[in-house]
Amino acid sequence: MAGPIPERAQVVIIGGGVIGLSTAYHLTKQGWSDVVLLERHQLTSGTTWHAAGLITSAGMTDEASLEMSIYSRELYARLEEETGLSTGFRRCGHLHVATTPTRVEAMRREAAYAKRFGQESHEIGPSEIAELWPLAETSDLLRGFYVPVEGRANPHDVAMSLAKGARQGGAKIIEGTPVTGVTRVRDRVTGVVTAQGTISCEVVVLAAGIWSRQFGDTIGVRVPLQAAEHYYLITEPFEGVHPDLPVLEDPATYGYFREETGGLLVGLFEPEAAAWQPDAIPTDFAFGEIEPDWERISPFVDLAMSRIPGLRSVGVRKFFCGPESFTSDVHPLLGEVPELRGFFAATGLNSLGILLGGGVGNVMAEWIVSGQPPLDLTGFTIDRTSPHESTPAFRRDRTPEQLGVLFGDAVAPGWTPKSARGVRRSPVHERLVRYGVRFDTTTGWEWGDFFAGLHEPVPDVIQSWDRQGWWSLVEAEHRAVREAVGLLDMSFMCKFWVQGRDAGAVLDRIVVSDALNSPVGKVVYTAICHDGGGMWVDCTFTRIADDCYVVIGTDLVHRRLEALLRRAVGEEDAATVTDVTAGFALFSVQGPQSRQLLSRLTSADVSNEALGYLTGRHLDVAYAPATWVQRVTYVGELGYELHVRSDLALGVYDALFEAGDDLGLRNVGMSALNGLRIEKGYRDYGHDIGNDDTPLEAGIGFIVDWDKPDFPGRAALLKQRDGGPLTERLVNLVVLDPEPLLWHDEDVLCDGVVVGEVEAGAYGYSLGGAVAIATVRCESGVTAAWLSAGSFSVEVNGRRYPVRAQLGPLYDPKRERILA
Ligand SMILES: Cc1cc2nc3c(=O)[nH]c(=O)nc-3n(C[C@H](O)[C@H](O)[C@H](O)COP(=O)(O)OP(=O)(O)OC[C@H]3O[C@@H](n4cnc5c(N)ncnc54)[C@H](O)[C@@H]3O)c2cc1C
């Protein structure tokens, strides 16, 4: 088994499941053949050997998942020609069925989204479903969505075919060789340690499946995933089952069904699953099974059987429970880890490792070779996760919810996780509760979605694309900001101090703007790009003292921004980076009355002359001395950001409300913020912009200092700037009919032809219609002239509505209020 190991390699991959093997295969395709894959036991012995092999993109509404799943499918279809080993891929079709109108709409929207990637789906009624699946109970089915090009594969055969392809490309695959550690020089990995010796290398890829977290723990790298029980059963052969039956997926019974040696394989995605071995996965677990928990699982078996009544009279040949890894948001953990340079994760596949595996390996290989992700992976990178996700308590509490989420519990807008809530709270959390907040959560933070008002009950939010009880509340918050003053608690934003004699030089090394010569008090909106010109983050920095800058980004980029800043500090630099997120609340006070409100709480002069637009100063605010206040807006109004020490934050919050009552001060949640900022055309990283957008494509080219001699991405950005009009870029649009709502992913059309998609949508109460930031494409260039010449529309759930699309902000009449 264990062969001799080489002394060095360019890349070492830890783990011989589908993900490690696919990464090895694709690295050789990129021309990197000096690849060694080390497998603890035998190839596929972790999770890959027992997967059900569904090959589908059902339920996917993001570019990365769709690209990777479609790529995987087509790779598995052709791999045999190259390697001589079949993957067992069979295009038997995939049928997704719905029993409720909400789910029908969800699937219809998914189908429209997938069409953009060339995937045709056929919407069919119960009688056509019955023709495709005569064994299924169809009386309660409303619609089905049938994709003929999808199907199933044999996971073990997929892995072996990839292994053969990797070997043909020069990769060495060594079994029976557990990796026990890594070697490093400072923050860079330099090799892996095994019982047979050390292999020195430049890059390590952790593809150790359910073992990844505990391996990460041993080397100080957080890989927040958790194994959960995952079930299927296989029946004896029975009448009417044949290999060309489409895979049937039925969220209503939490079941999926496909042929297996003449019988049916019935898989379960129960709504409340069970974490497996949260303390540690046994290291000798190989080709292993978990003892089924009959009591917990049998009600779901019964439910699944109700979809195929014939199952009740057929014998069960095998009842199987195996472990699979799940993450806090059911997206994989990919990319370079923030803690260790050169160390990449490719793990946490949430039961989609086979159907995504080809694509994941392809993306990982391109990323490793080129230094940047080939598509928008903002929601997939391991650095989006937060440290609390690794705690046993969080994994224990969150993991059971995840199987259900994956199978469609989060079907429409309005869904928010139920488990493991209240992890990170603003210092004024309890005040927000008193004001009737509806909380939502990302990165563990509880943030206000909207407010019912003081001591008012919070209306229920059901999952829906329509208006609900929150509608008038969000509208009132929106109008407060436009007409009076609103307070947005944005304490979740990540905040760093870069301090020391060389702080300016350190920051200047990485941002696209001039940080070195930025005067004290000037607020600068900027970005940090990779060499391809795409943005790793957008953020603001302000020099708050000669030797101190505060850098602020959204919560999603917290760990990434921290890593970028820390890595920018050279050995010779006199500079430190301090995460001050928890030390300061961030209150954004916005609206025409905001200056009046602030002036009531401070002894300082806050006139336009003393505190101009995009400047900041230390002021006393109520009982909070020397509070950093900067004049900046994310909604297009006169407004201020108050960075209040956490211990003083509650006092300042109360003082603001005491002083702001007659000015119309309201709490404002993130739903209202979304509409306000989209009206003004402000971008939101992780929603409408990501790692594949350059500042020019995002419409924020003004942040680039073209006179700056060097910064990451400069050459690529210059080339793009001078290369003629952009053929793809973000635009702002407003729907002319007041009724339809936009959320995300809706098609954008020009003269009846699809030219793009909505990235983020909301309602623009000031404009009386839905507003959005959308990506559009035009071969001759996305220009103001093209936008005004064309007849633009959006397609919402099958209906088209005219829109106005433009490069500039949709709403800007109060410009003088921002500046003066
Ligand atoms: C019941 C069930 C049904 C499923 N059905 C489907 C499906 O229909 N479609 C689908 O897409 N996915 C499905 N999956 C999920 C899929 O099986 C996984 O997502 C996928 O196999 C994960 O692959 P991996 O390479 O990440 O992990 P693994 O296959 O577990 O590979 C990791 C490898 O790393 C090795 N390893 C661990 N530690 C070390 C170390 N220190 N040194 C060296 N090697 C190490 C392990 O031995 C293992 O071989 C299913 C999963 C289950 C449990």
The response to whether residue 54 sits with its C-beta less than 6 Å from ligand 1 reads yes
Q: What is the pLDDT of residues 419-454, one digit of tens each?
A: 999 999 999 999 999 999 999 999 999 999 999 999
Q: What is the mean pLDDT of residues 9-18?
A: 98
Q: Name the 3-class secondary structure at 31.
A: coil
Give the Cα separation of 11 and 170 in Å (integer).
Answer: 12
Residue having the nearest C-alpha atom to atom 48 of ligand 1? 46
The response to whether residue 534 sits with its C-beta less than 6 Å from ligand 1 reads no
Give the Cα separation of 135 and 239 in Å (integer).
Answer: 9
Instruction: Give the residue among 305, 157, 291 at the shortest CA–CA distance from 231.
Output: 291
781 CA to centre of ligand 1 in angstroms = 44
Instruction: Specify whether the CB–CB gap between 659 and 594 falls below 8 A.
Output: no
Pocket test for ligand 1, best of 354, 355, 356, 403 (most atoms within 8 A of CB): 354
Kind and range of the H or E element at 69?
helix 63-83
The response to whether residue 325 sits with its C-beta less than 6 Å from ligand 1 reads no
Q: How confident is residue 818, by pLDDT bands cut at 50, 70 and 90?
A: low
* 344 alpha carbon, distance to own chain's centre: 18
Q: What is the pLDDT of residues 485-530, one digit of tens each?
A: 999 999 999 999 999 999 999 999 999 999 999 999 999 999 999 9
The response to whether residue 51 sits with its C-beta less than 6 Å from ligand 1 reads yes
Residue 228, beta-bridge partner list: 275, 324
479 CA to centre of ligand 1 in angstroms = 51
Instruction: Show the tokens assigned to 225.
Output: 């995933």
Instruction: Show the tokens assigned to 250.
Output: 């039925």
The response to whether residue 355 sits with its C-beta less than 6 Å from ligand 1 reads yes
Return the pLDDT at 2.
Answer: 60
Give the Cα separation of 74 and 314 in Å (integer).
Answer: 35
Give the Cα separation of 760 and 738 in Å (integer).
Answer: 17
Q: What is the mean pLDDT of residues 719-732?
A: 97
The response to whether residue 40 sits with its C-beta less than 6 Å from ligand 1 reads yes
Identify the weakest region by mean pLDDT among 1-10, 75-84, 219-228, 645-654: 1-10
Q: Name the 3-class secondary structure at 416.
A: coil
Q: How many other C-beta atoms lie within 10 A of the C-beta of residue 465? A: 17
Give the Cα separation of 770 and 679 in Å (integer).
Answer: 9
| Mean per-residue pLDDT of the chain | 96
Give the Cα separation of 533 and 715 in Å (integer).
Answer: 8
Q: Provide the residue count of the chain.
A: 820
Residue having the nearest C-alpha atom to atom 26 of ligand 1? 209
The response to whether residue 194 sits with its C-beta less than 6 Å from ligand 1 reads no
The response to whether residue 348 sits with its C-beta less than 6 Å from ligand 1 reads no
Kind and range of the H or E element at 24?
helix 18-29
Pocket test for ligand 1, best of 14, 48, 156 (most atoms within 8 A of CB): 48
47 CA to centre of ligand 1 in angstroms = 3
* Lookup result for tokens 């997926």: 249
Give the Cα separation of 328 and 394 in Å (integer).
Answer: 9
Burial 158-182 (b: 16+ CB within 10 A, else e): bbbbbbbbbbebebbbbbebbbeeb
* Helix, strand, coil percent content, the chain, rounded in steps of 5: 30, 30, 40
* DSSP H helical ranges for 470-555: 471-483, 503-510
Q: What is the mean pLDDT of residues 455-476?
A: 94
Residue having the nearest C-alpha atom to atom 49 of ligand 1? 46
Furthest C-alpha separation in the chain: 85
Q: Quick check: 819 pLDDT over 60?
A: no
Residue 502 contacts by C-beta under 8 Å, 6 or more apart in sequence? 573, 574, 575
Q: How confident is residue 813, by pLDDT bands cut at 50, 70 and 90?
A: low
The response to whether residue 207 sits with its C-beta less than 6 Å from ligand 1 reads yes
Q: Quick check: 817 pLDDT over 90?
A: no
Instruction: Show the tokens assigned to 811.
Output: 């709403």
Q: What is the pLDDT of residues 53-69, one digit of tens each?
A: 999 999 998 999 999 99
Residue having the nearest C-alpha atom to atom 33 of ligand 1? 15
Q: What is the pLDDT of residues 644-696, one digit of tens each?
A: 999 999 999 999 999 999 999 999 999 999 999 999 999 999 999 999 999 99
Give the Cα separation of 395 and 389 in Å (integer).
Answer: 7
- Residue 541 φ/ψ region, left for φ over 0, alpha for ψ in the -120 to 50 degree band, beta for the rest: beta
Residue having the nearest C-alpha atom to atom 18 of ligand 1? 353
345 CA to centre of ligand 1 in angstroms = 14
Return the pLDDT at 104.
Answer: 96
Q: Name the 3-class secondary structure at 302.
A: helix
Instruction: Show the tokens assigned to 781.
Output: 């260039």
Q: What is the mean pLDDT of residues 710-732?
A: 97
Instruction: Give the residue among 579, 581, 578, 654 at the shortest CA–CA distance from 623.
Output: 654
Instruction: Show the tokens assigned to 812.
Output: 């800007």
Q: How confident is residue 91, by pLDDT bands cut at 50, 70 and 90?
A: very high
The response to whether residue 597 sits with its C-beta less than 6 Å from ligand 1 reads no
The response to whether residue 332 sits with its C-beta less than 6 Å from ligand 1 reads no
Q: What is the pTM for the complete model shown? A: 0.97
Kind and range of the H or E element at 264?
strand 263-268
Give the Cα separation of 650 and 635 in Å (integer).
Answer: 24
Q: What is the pLDDT of residues 530-582, one digit of tens each?
A: 999 999 999 999 999 999 999 999 999 999 999 999 999 999 999 999 999 99
Residue 639, beta-bridge partner list: 590
The response to whether residue 400 sits with its C-beta less than 6 Å from ligand 1 reads no
Q: What is the 3-state secondary structure (H, E, C) of 99-159?
A: CCHHHHHHHHHHHHHHHCCCCCCEEECHHHHHHHCCCCCCCCCCEEEEECCCEECCHHHHH
Pocket test for ligand 1, best of 5, 14, 47, 56 (most atoms within 8 A of CB): 47
Instruction: Show the tokens assigned to 678.
Output: 């989209």
Return the pLDDT at 409.
Answer: 82
> Strands, E, within 148-223: which ranges?
151-152, 172-174, 179-185, 188-194, 197-200, 203-206
For residue 19, the one-letter residue type is: I
